[in-house]
Amino acid sequence: MVRHIMFVLFFPLFLWAAQANQSENIWVKVGQIYGIEPRLLYSIAKVESDLDRYVVAFSASKMTPKQAQELQAFLKQKGIESKQYSQVIAIKSKNKYEASHVVHFLYTRNYPRFDMGIMQINSIHKPLLDKANISLYDLFDPKINIQVGAYILATCFERHKNTKDAINAYNGKIDDNPYSAKVFKEFKKLYSSYQSGKTQLYYRNPS
């Protein structure tokens, strides 16, 4: 099953992104490809980035004092806004050009692992992206970012048959993680007709 998902990601990603009709619903299309309820993908994106395609975020506590100082100077020079939420710093670029500069700055200077774009894809996945000919900068294209996020979520479902654990795994921590509760809260808020147990969130049959 995982090999099938890998094939979907590694071959038709850019081809589909280039040919997709502009009126096509990206969430539905990607959900069909990976066997994931489209509204779940949307809810995760809402929790992760509030649907901000250019945001870059990481743990501020993992920076060295020198890195914190250099980042502040860089953002001030470029006129790029940032906000800190608890221990997470979110850098909010206005466009792909700015966001790409932020990623280049963080990656080439060995900053802590960071999340990018609408589904907040973590830089830990760079080896996977390299195999698919996807650059970190490509993740600021929502079509690409959402499909990569769906692939990662699908692999989480393959490894963790429990829905809660799979969704928490997408966030990087399974136990004692309130992340899945936030996602379900968003899901229910956006789609009031949802009733637990009646909507299948992952509908591929593991082989």
Task: Reduce the DSSP state of residue 85 to 3 states and report it.
Answer: strand
Position with higher pLDDT, 4 vs 82: 82
- Which residues of the chain form CATH 1.10.530? 1-52+119-207
Supply the pLDDT for residue 3: 41
User: What's the CATH number of domain 1-52+119-207, 3.10.450, 1.10.530, 2.60.40, 3.40.50?
Assistant: 1.10.530
| pTM score | 0.85
Position with higher pLDDT, 197 vs 55: 55
pLDDT, tens only, 168-186? 999 999 999 999 999 999 9
- Which residues of the chain form CATH 3.30.70.860? 54-116
CATH number of the domain located at residue range(s) 54-116 in this protein? 3.30.70.860
pLDDT, tens only, 100-159? 999 999 999 999 999 999 999 999 999 999 988 899 999 999 999 999 999 999 999 999
Strands (E), the chain: 55-59, 81-85, 88-92, 115-116, 121-122
Supply the pLDDT for residue 88: 94
- Distance, in Å, from the CA atom of 63 to the CA atom of 117, rounded to the nearest integer, reads 21
Q: From the centroid of its chain, how far is CA 139? A: 9
